[in-house]
Amino acid sequence: MTMATTTRKKLSWFLLCAVLLAVLPFMVGHVLGNSWVRIVDFTLLYIMLALGLNIVVGFAGLLDMGFIAFYAVGAYTYALLSSPHFGLHLPFYVSIPLGAIFAACFGLMLGTPVLRLKGDYLAIVTLGFGEIIRIFMNNLNAPVNITNGPQGINLIDPIQIGGVSLGESLHVLGLTFPSVYLYYYLFLVLSVLVVIMGMRLQHSRIGRAWVALREDDIAAASMGINIRNIKLLAFALGALSGGVAGGLFASFQGFVSPESFGLMESIMILAMVVLGGMGHIPGVVLGAIVLTIAPEILRDVIGPLQMETFGRMIVDPENARQLLFGLALVVMMLVRPAGMWPSRRRAAEFTDAKRDAAQKG
């Protein structure tokens, strides 16, 4: 196959994917309703979060269980700067970058004291950091009301681009673009940018340093890699992506409260990275899509299925959804421990480990 043929084939696939992504909200909205377009919007937000965490966990091998804290920092920064709470209504191109910068600063704050920690100890400290941020957001309403406490902040301004508010429907050439459609296109563009950033980092000198750190930090240090700086850079860049996603979430919801940033959210984002394939960007994207869409499908299926089968509810649909979801995760990790779509290196590592264990057995 010639280079020109290969280039044309790649271009054809790219154009096909671009067209499908462009019409996706109309297809989903027509078949399933706009509520499912909203779910697709949240899927794109989780893709950005999972790709940010993948920098820390997948590339650098640092187990971070408090990543939701950076999401919260970005969301509250946008909410405080673009709502009536302080009387500020700054444009999104100011609020979202500031939220990303603050989140990156918090990433450095987290990374600095945990430079010597590894494995479970690092996981426990980062988990505690995530809970501390949530508790701060919950209690910073006295003596000075900064975050409005557990009541949260509402009436947050939607994003406006060129005088067009994404919080309202847009009519162009006889087509109607509801708010969830407009946010979809914005989230899609930013998700693509985060993917490109991740790919560029992965194949850069910094990305190779992260891989060396993940494989053996002592060997990496002996080869001249500055372990301290490379760890802090991983925390800061991962937090940067989380802060952007948080600002987008605040503008999309129009309301933020501490309840949105609990421990289960951190665990869910980590599961997206691990289940999809740590360190492999396409796998992480797939993991985010599956773990966002699958629970909603189960939510819509379990209740009607029980009514048709038994004529009444035997098990609460929410409890059954969580049970089946957790069971599916366990089975998946037993069947494919490297993830649904692992990188070639990680798949080879698991294959070699399995072969060595079989020979020893």
Q: What is the pLDDT of residues 130-176, one digit of tens each?
A: 999 999 999 999 889 999 999 999 999 999 998 899 999 999 888 88
- What are the C-alpha distances in Å from 124 to residues 130, 337, 345? 10, 23, 28
Name the residue among 270, 266, 298, 290 with its Cα closest to residue 341.
Answer: 290
Buried b / exposed e along 192-224 (16+ C-beta atoms within 10 A): eebbebbeebbeeebbebbbbbbeebeebeeee
Is residue 356 scored above 70 in pLDDT?
A: no
Query: What tokens does 176 get?
Result: 């109607």
Residue 85 lies in a domain: yes
- The pLDDT assigned to 55 comes to 96
Residue 293 lies in a domain: no
Percent of the chain residues topping a pLDDT of 70: 96
Query: What tokens does 51 get?
Result: 């790709």
- The pLDDT assigned to 151 comes to 94
pTM of the model: 0.93
pLDDT band at 76 (very low <50, low <70, confident <90, very high): very high
pLDDT band at 361 (very low <50, low <70, confident <90, very high): low
Contacting residues for 98 by C-beta, under 8 A, at least 6 apart:
77, 81
CA–CA gap between residue 209 and residue 225 (Å, rounded): 7
271: amino acid identity, one letter: A
CB 161 within 8 A of CB 251: no
Which value, to the nearest 10 degrees, does the dihedral of the CA atoms of residues 173, 174, 176, 177 take? -20
Which value, to the nearest 10 degrees, does the dihedral of the CA atoms of residues 348, 195, 180, 36 take? -10
Residue 324 lies in a domain: no
Strand 160-161 to 82-83 pairing: unpaired
CA–CA gap between residue 242 and residue 57 (Å, rounded): 14
Residue 3 lies in a domain: no
Residue 27 lies in a domain: no
Give the chain's domain count: 1
Residue 283 lies in a domain: no
Q: Hey, which residues does 89 pair with through a beta bridge?
A: 82
Q: Which domain holds residue 38?
A: 34-278
Neighbours of 243 (CB within 10 A): 31
Tokens 């280039």 sit on residue = 7
Residue 315 lies in a domain: no
pLDDT tens digits, one per residue of 284-341: 999 999 999 988 888 888 878 878 888 887 777 777 777 877 888 888 878 888 888 8
CA–CA gap between residue 329 and residue 275 (Å, rounded): 8
Residue 17 lies in a domain: no
- The pLDDT assigned to 352 comes to 63
273: amino acid identity, one letter: V
